[in-house]
Structure 1
């Protein structure tokens, strides 16, 4: 009887334990609450709130392929001067724009990464933009204000007569009025060929007045190394919703000084362009430029949006420079924006 009681007790205990484990196995923990991404429309399309924060983030960029041909672009490779064929460039750009509101104004950080392959061999990675803004203050690396404030044209090769310097580390402040007026002043380090050599930076300042009919803008830059200056003024006219024009003039104080801001080769230069929207999917862009050193450049293209986000742009270019033969070139650009 003792053995029988012991066996029955052990069996009951095993059943109880197994039942407890089985009961434990089917207990499902409460799921963690899911925080879905919220759209942030404060700063325009494409922004969303970073989960758990009040910071808005936008991620965008493009993939671009340029194929060039013609005498204007020179030979395909320096390794073999007998090769004379087209040029091929592929580029990918990813941009990050993070913004939030503070008691001192909008806090913004902006990064753009750029990856380029030329001729299937020359690979390069770059950081053309990385800066912080708070209110109207900006610090970091981006295009020189001398170029971005007045900008260029809408053709691909708008710099055959060059109009600005390269990217640079800088500190700037932009004042934005409520009536279309804005102004900027900045201190810049210069690009790799025009770096400052002491504690005195390059100085750039500009002003702009924008209305529904267009805008008037001007900018001046002082190169602290060569102690010379250059300036530009620009007029934009928006004739209709389909047609717009611009004309821009530049002057530099000493063309022989290799001024950072006077990128053209004569004392003065003139640029002019037109953009016409000929259909819902196509824009025609043209530009002509003249440099006082006897350089004439012209470009004509059609930017056609084949499907939303994918633009194909064929362009024809021409340049006549003193002391060299006339040169023609062509480029076709494929660009997928996202």
Structure 2
């Protein structure tokens, strides 16, 4: 067999195979059109549609760094550095019952590289005023009197697994909440976790004046705590007045039998606010039965908020605390916070 014969035979075989495979040729599928993220402006800025759904999602959070000072603020040290990272996911969509909301807030606090805590700060479902899950209580300090740091107007943890209902209008709201109070706390002997509390809040606004009235009942101690807060826009800022009373030490408030306080948020410029504050506590001591007995205290200080740049804030707080029959002390912090 000559080389010419071999080449001709190979070419013929390849031609036959090519013809046979042509009938079964694979055709690549057309690529699907890419769905770009769409802005959702129905619930305010920052929301976008989750691709392929009618659910809107926002992602926010902050990084916070603090330099804290005070007697034994960290073990036997009077100084401590501390960092927090927090991310909040908020989803919203419309149903036949109204807006369905779901919120997840994840938080990590770090004293140092090895002493860190990660936790679920919030995780709740909200529909038509009914909210269930881990959520901030109305007793939460940061959402009550304002941006100052002088006030002490709640006790223990202010985040609970709760079921609550809130009726809201722009100038009035009313709500009730049933809270699971899981943590141990210093009140009457034998009191422990797995407690239940009931809180109710009223809010009203008329012109430049607004106010809150809050009541909490601790079913374990069978004690009541009451708190009232009044805000009024006066001059270049806002005046805040507040008072508290407890029938006996309970989870919601056990700092004193009663307390009164005031603060003023002076808005010096668009970037600078100065907030002096004062609070007086009556009967801060507890006897062996968890009842208030005696001893008073007062607390005064000033907080300065300054906006360095867009989404970059700093806060300096210096507080003086003077209790009866105990050493007075100065404490506070310097904070830097980048929000997004």
Please indicate, yes or no, whether the TM-score normalized by the shorter chain is above 0.5.
yes
SS in 2 for 1:11: helix
1:272 Cα offset (Å): 1.5
Question: In 2 relative to 1, CA 99–65 (structure 1 residues): closer, same or farther, beyond 3 Å?
Answer: same
2:45 and 2:280 map into 1 onto residues whose CA distance is 39
**Are 1:224 and 2:235 an aligned pair?**
no
* Number of the residue aligned with 1:235: 230
Residue in structure 1 matching 2:261, options 252, 271, 286: 271
C-alpha distance after superposition, 1:45-76 (max 9, x if no partner): 111111111111111111111101243xx253
1:164 and 1:100 map into 2 onto residues whose CA distance is 35
Residues 310 and 337 in structure 1, CA contact (< 8 A), matched pair in contact too:
yes
C-alpha distance after superposition, 1:300-335 (max 9, x if no partner): 122112121111222221111111232112411011
Tell me how many residue pairs correspond in the alignment.
321
1:89 Cα offset (Å): 0.8
* Number of the residue aligned with 1:282: 272
C-alpha distance after superposition, 1:115-143 (max 9, x if no partner): 11125542111212111111110111122
1:50 and 1:298 map into 2 onto residues whose CA distance is 48
* Number of the residue aligned with 2:240: 246
1:262 Cα offset (Å): 1.8
C-alpha distance after superposition, 1:228-257 (max 9, x if no partner): 1011111111236x5111111111112xxx
**Are 1:90 and 2:66 an aligned pair?**
no
Gaps of 5+ in 2: 186-190, 284-295
* Number of the residue aligned with 1:100: 93
C-alpha distance after superposition, 1:151-180 (max 9, x if no partner): 13312x345x34244121111100113x61
Question: In 2 relative to 1, CA 118–7 (structure 1 residues): closer, same or farther, beyond 3 Å?
Answer: closer
Q: TM-score, normalised by structure 2?
A: 0.83
Question: In 2 relative to 1, CA 135–165 (structure 1 residues): closer, same or farther, beyond 3 Å?
Answer: farther
2:21 and 2:264 map into 1 onto residues whose CA distance is 79
* Number of the residue aligned with 2:302: 300
1:20 and 1:316 map into 2 onto residues whose CA distance is 87
**Are 1:60 and 2:60 an aligned pair?**
yes
1:15 Cα offset (Å): 6.5
1:278 and 1:21 map into 2 onto residues whose CA distance is 82
Question: In 2 relative to 1, CA 32–142 (structure 1 residues): closer, same or farther, beyond 3 Å?
Answer: same
Q: TM-score, normalised by structure 1?
A: 0.84
1:284 Cα offset (Å): 1.8
SS in 1 for 2:139: helix
CA RMSD after TM alignment: 3.1
SS in 2 for 1:152: coil
1:280 Cα offset (Å): 2.5
1:290 and 1:49 map into 2 onto residues whose CA distance is 49
